[in-house]
Structure 1
């Protein structure tokens, strides 16, 4: 466990005194706090490097279950629909982490400039990796947080510390997802192109040949490599994106289930209801009512 972990915990705890995701004065950096175990939450993980200071969390990606805890770091190289659940947290010892949003183009440039050793792709890499945090990465994370106390220095020094954090991670044994997303000849790089297309066009009818062309692959090769990266099929990915967006529309924009299902591309209201219930555990109207009640109780 990194020697700086105690200091990292104290700094995050100093800057955030309420549960949730908190943006900071440095745009790519967010801090996360959860003071009790949670129910499973469906969300979309976007490209990021996360440093876990305290607590424990479990995520489900496709059919795979992973966990990470204080002293670990998590890298996400492509947009991934996951189900996350904090399983170890308390008011005295909350789940605490920091997140650096990643820009793939900047990451590619960093790899080129710093001449990070290239590792030949032997198999398609999953778009998410978890591993132990190095002492050097923990030290850089501490210095990043300390900069939040110096607004005048923050805009000049934070990009340099962010660069160091990424460099430290790229030298770790679990950096393949970030290295390969930056490599133009990797399967992960091309699958990411198809993922961007699916995100932009999730409401359109799914056509495997059309999506596979975005990755410059045959339909069969695309299906194989897409599942290796995301742990789900392209059609399952589109379905999760659709259902998460429908839930957001009903909760945030107060549209009804019929309108939401049409907006996200469903032609059959009954199919939408079945798939929604399968994913979220309740029919749309009941699920949204329960969510609103839960949010109201949390704000009381």
Structure 2
């Protein structure tokens, strides 16, 4: 029943395709009524929950398909491809996109530690999935419903918004992806710090030695740990982030040269070569084909 109520609240307010602001920190609603194949995107730390329909994301060749049974948790910035393959006017997709606040996630993780819920040790040598799917458990569903209900009253939102947002974060940390998210936001996660730095400085030159120093590791150890955390070597990760960001900017109307410069490319010809190698189309061909595609992502 709670999911039906969530769907009603979202459908009432998301009256167009794309993202709709809620007035609640980091929480946006979205609707899609057309089938969109997976196209480049960058997911900054977020949770994406679908209440009606099916959405998918692809990270380094692995496909994550999720719906009202499971939500997506991406606690570190990741270059992905995302789409709404089954959406249609007759079967619209509705969901919520929650940008995760690092300070709040870290605070709640520490409080869980102090309350005796220590973070379980990660498997030695294990490969991080980068993205994880988690079941829609009752606590998550109820917390999301209670938060969305505040949108009906500006006064309630002003007074109760932060408390109910905190309740939703807590439900995420207690859920199936909770340990995964807690590790990403823990103070000792050097890879998360490096990835956040890279995401904020995509237009700057990249030095592997500098990144290893930021992580407090040797170059070889950093390369190994980075690949475990992201599935990609550092240079591959940076290139994917830059090209995905540029593709999103171009599809949203930016000129090819402006998009290239914003993500750190000095040479337009190099950008065009790498873009075509990555996506199979020149930037200008991409702009023509994808102008409408990113609005529902």
Fold-level similarity (TM above 0.5): yes
Cα displacement string for residues 62-92 of structure 1 (whole angstroms, at most 9, x for unaligned residues): 2322111122122111111110011222223
What residue in structure 2 maps to residue 140 of structure 1? 143
What residue in structure 1 maps to residue 192 of structure 2? 192
Q: 1:275 deviation in Å?
A: 1.6
Instruction: Tell me if 1:203 matches 2:206.
Output: no
Q: 1:117 deviation in Å?
A: 3.6
Q: Report the count of equivalent residues.
A: 289
Does the aligned pair in 2 maintain the 1:124–1:225 contact within 8 Å? Answer: no
Cα displacement string for residues 251-297 of structure 1 (whole angstroms, at most 9, x for unaligned residues): 5574444x6545544455443222211333311122223344x47xx
Residues 227-236 or 14-23, more deviating = 227-236
2:32 to 31, 34, 46: 34
What residue in structure 2 maps to residue 288 of structure 1? 287
What residue in structure 1 maps to residue 119 of structure 2? 118
Instruction: Tell me if 1:51 matches 2:49.
Output: yes
TM-aligned CA distance change 1:232 to 1:93, over 3 Å? same
What residue in structure 1 maps to residue 61 of structure 2? 63
What residue in structure 2 maps to residue 162 of structure 1? 165
What residue in structure 1 maps to residue 7 of structure 2? 9
SS of residue paired to 1:78: coil
TM-aligned CA distance change 1:256 to 1:166, over 3 Å? closer
Cα displacement string for residues 107-150 of structure 1 (whole angstroms, at most 9, x for unaligned residues): 11112234344212224533321021101211111111111001
1:152 to 129, 150, 155: 155
Listed as ranges, the gaps of 5+ residues in structure 2 are none
1:182 to 179, 182, 185: 185
Residues 166-175 or 151-160, more deviating = 166-175
Q: 1:200 deviation in Å?
A: 3.5
TM-score (norm 1): 0.86
Residues 245-254 or 164-173, more deviating = 245-254
Q: 1:152 deviation in Å?
A: 0.7
Structure with bigger RCO (C-alpha 8 Å, 6+ apart): 2
Does the aligned pair in 2 maintain the 1:63–1:231 contact within 8 Å? Answer: no
TM-aligned CA distance change 1:240 to 1:145, over 3 Å? same
Does the aligned pair in 1 maintain the 2:275–2:282 contact within 8 Å? Answer: yes
Q: Say what the alpha-carbon RMSD is for the aligned residues.
A: 2.4
Does the aligned pair in 1 maintain the 2:34–2:92 contact within 8 Å? Answer: yes
Whole-angstrom distance in 2 between the partners of 1:78 and 1:16: 27
Whole-angstrom distance in 1 between the partners of 2:187 and 2:81: 30
What residue in structure 2 maps to residue 109 of structure 1? 107
Residues 209-218 or 246-255, more deviating = 246-255
What residue in structure 2 maps to residue 22 of structure 1? 20
Whole-angstrom distance in 2 between the partners of 1:250 and 1:56: 26
Cα displacement string for residues 146-182 of structure 1 (whole angstroms, at most 9, x for unaligned residues): 1100111112212212211121221223222211023
TM-score (norm 2): 0.87
What residue in structure 1 maps to residue 218 of structure 2? 218
